[in-house]
Structure 1
């Protein structure tokens, strides 16, 4: 038997490839299927089942493409109602792969169809669970995403999750390995550990959610401090439930060079958003007017999902030459399938053509310290928890995820400084502000990590003032 965790850092997502004898199973595959078909071919095994732990909200699964290419059926837990052919398993139903077995444990709460898959090895020993978003390392799945479809409150869903954990997971042996669907950085939980594999026994000791004295305490603690889910979550659920275009079609459509001469007219005629995926350190020195910067070398896909409201939005790419396929792939993972092309030759071709170039005013933390006064207006776009831990005195707490709400409160006649933790998120904010005609600001390179090295006064007092 072989178990391989295929972990994708930018999504903090784990898919699983399991082999026994000449058969295989894959759990929660990502959108692109080649990594899985390559493994199947290399190992000379047949894919027998594709298991889905639930209808994912934070990424688009590759289950349909993989099923079409391999002939393997898709398996969901009880109550799932996909709009395509699939096996809807019964609670405790067993599936055989080679000499091992997978037992379905229906564990509703995160979503109603959520299921945990219990692996029983060749010797009949319960060895591991693939817990999806039911149980994370250090946390459990947020129970506020399925309220509308389940016709239940988040408190009711949290109570259901408590019962699932207590009746299906906690009674299992301590030496069972826990393989979750996500790790630290995912918006599907709030307190996940950086590790991606653990024993159930250790989770029983260290996971706050498994150490609540009763259901009421569990509900209260699990719901406390949940931020609003990213806007694209609902759209991804619908795509996973209803079916999507094949990844190959998405790549063929998007992987098309657009000349400098045609780029502006294509953008204007299609209403496309110009998405520049270069590093912030390069972007601020020159970019196409109105382009939005979300750097590929960061939490690219989740921030695209959070910043771009509609997954159907046509997108034109400006990317480092040679990275276009990677960009399209990572966009497709969160459902942004409507890439219509990329700037041929990258930004340098635009600059060399003599076309108009815009810039962002970026300064170092040292320069910020020289310019800082008690009257300086500072906008901190980090998450609330980061801000509350420590921030520049009197800085305004304005999380990047909420930019569409607070951008309308800004006065373009009043200069302000903007920063995040390291410069990635603040450049996203800067590009959005710039595209909306707000230009009287300065972005700080290195963000709060560098500001802490200066003498600028800091505190953990929460400023409640309005802009």
Structure 2
């Protein structure tokens, strides 16, 4: 028996590849399936099942393409109703795989169809659970995403989640391994540990949600402090339930290199948003006017989802040459399949063609420390928990994912400084503000980390973020 966790850091997502005696199963696959097909061929095994723990909200699964390519059935838990052929397992149903067995345990609460898959080894002993978004390391799945679909309140879903954990998962032996669908950084939980696998026994000791005295305290703890889910989540759920265009077609369509003239024409006539995926250090020096900067070298796909929201929005890409395929691939993982093409030769080609360019005013943290006064207006675009932990004194908390609301309140005549933790998110904000005609600001390179290191800008007292969320 072999269990391999295939972890994708930018999505904080774990897929699983299980092999026993010439047969394989894949749990919660990513959108692009070629790596899985190559692995199956290399190992000389046949894919027998594609297990889905639930209808994912934060990424598009590769289940449909993978089933078409291999003939393996897609397996969902009870109550699932996808628009394509799938095996709907009943609670407790056993799926033989080589010399091992996988048991479907219905664990509703995060969503109604949420299912944990229990792996029994060659001797019939409980070995591991693939818990999807039911149980994370350090947390449990948020129970507020499926309210509309389930016609239930978040309190009712939290109660269901408690029953699922108490009756199905906690009675399992402490040595059982826990393999969740997500880790730290995912918006599907609020208190996840940095590890990506652990024993159930250790989770019983360290997971706050598993250490509540009763159902009521569990519900209160789990629901406390939940931020609003990204707005693109519902669109990903729909794609996972209804199907989607094949990834190969999406890639072929998007890999259209355009000259500066054709790129400009496409921007004018297609309604496409220009997405610049270069690092902030390059973007601020010069960019195609009205571009939004979301750097590929970061949490690219989740921020695209959070900022652009509409997965049907046509996109034109400006990339570092050679990274176009990676950008299209990562966009497809969150359902953004409408890439019209990319700027051939990147920004340098645009500039060399004599086209109009724009810039973001950026200064170092050292320069900020010299210019900053008690009267300076500073906007901090980090998460509220980051701001609460420590911030520049008198700075305003203006989270990036709420920019659509607060940008309209900005006085365009009054100068302000803009920063995040390290410069990635503040450049996203800067590009959006510039595109909206708000230009009287200065972005701080290196963000709060660099500002604090100067030692000359007053900051609030530090409060551990884990205490804020406990």
TM-score (norm 1): 0.98
The match for 2:359 is 359
The match for 2:155 is 155
Alignment gaps of 5+ in structure 1: 463-467
Structure 2: how far apart are the matches of 1:29 and 1:337?
A: 18
- 1:316 matches 2:310: no
The match for 2:458 is 457
Structure 1: how far apart are the matches of 2:392 and 2:173?
A: 48
- 1:223 matches 2:223: yes
Q: 1:461 to 1:41 in 2, by over 3 A?
A: closer
Structure 2: how far apart are the matches of 1:451 and 1:261?
A: 41
Summarize the alignment of residues 309-388 of structure 1 with structure 2, pairs less than 5 Å apart: 309-388=309-388
Structure 1: how far apart are the matches of 2:41 and 2:255?
A: 26
Residue-by-residue CA offset, 1:46-66 (whole Å, 9 max, x unaligned): 000000000000000000000
The match for 2:51 is 51
The match for 2:92 is 92
Deviation at 1:124, TM superposition (A): 1.1
1:47/1:72 contact within 8 Å kept: yes
Deviation at 1:222, TM superposition (A): 0.3
Structure 2: how far apart are the matches of 1:226 and 1:460?
A: 24
Q: Partner of 2:195: helix, strand, or coil?
A: coil
The match for 1:465 is none
Structure 2: how far apart are the matches of 1:96 and 1:267?
A: 53
Structure 2: how far apart are the matches of 1:268 and 1:355?
A: 14
Residue-by-residue CA offset, 1:137-189 (whole Å, 9 max, x unaligned): 00000000000000110011001000000000000000000000000000000
1:3/1:19 contact within 8 Å kept: yes
Structure 2: how far apart are the matches of 1:309 and 1:81?
A: 25
RMSD between aligned alpha carbons? 0.9
Deviation at 1:12, TM superposition (A): 0.2
TM-score (norm 2): 0.98
- 1:430 matches 2:433: no
Deviation at 1:309, TM superposition (A): 2.3
The match for 2:104 is 104
Structure 2: how far apart are the matches of 1:194 and 1:323?
A: 28
Q: Partner of 1:392: helix, strand, or coil?
A: coil
Deviation at 1:123, TM superposition (A): 1.3
Alignment gaps of 5+ in structure 2: 464-470
Deviation at 1:461, TM superposition (A): 9.9
Summarize the alignment of residues 20-419 of structure 1 with structure 2, pairs less than 5 Å apart: 20-419=20-419
Structure 2: how far apart are the matches of 1:436 and 1:127?
A: 54
1:388/1:460 contact within 8 Å kept: no
Residue-by-residue CA offset, 1:385-435 (whole Å, 9 max, x unaligned): 000001011101000000000000011100000000000000000000000
Residue-by-residue CA offset, 1:212-246 (whole Å, 9 max, x unaligned): 00000000000001000001001000110011110
Structure 1: how far apart are the matches of 2:221 and 2:131?
A: 20
Structure 1: how far apart are the matches of 2:153 and 2:421?
A: 35
Deviation at 1:97, TM superposition (A): 0.8
Deviation at 1:460, TM superposition (A): 4.9
Structure 1: how far apart are the matches of 2:400 and 2:319?
A: 22
Structure 1: how far apart are the matches of 2:223 and 2:124?
A: 38
Structure 2: how far apart are the matches of 1:461 and 1:345?
A: 45
Structure 1: how far apart are the matches of 2:320 and 2:112?
A: 42
Deviation at 1:120, TM superposition (A): 0.4
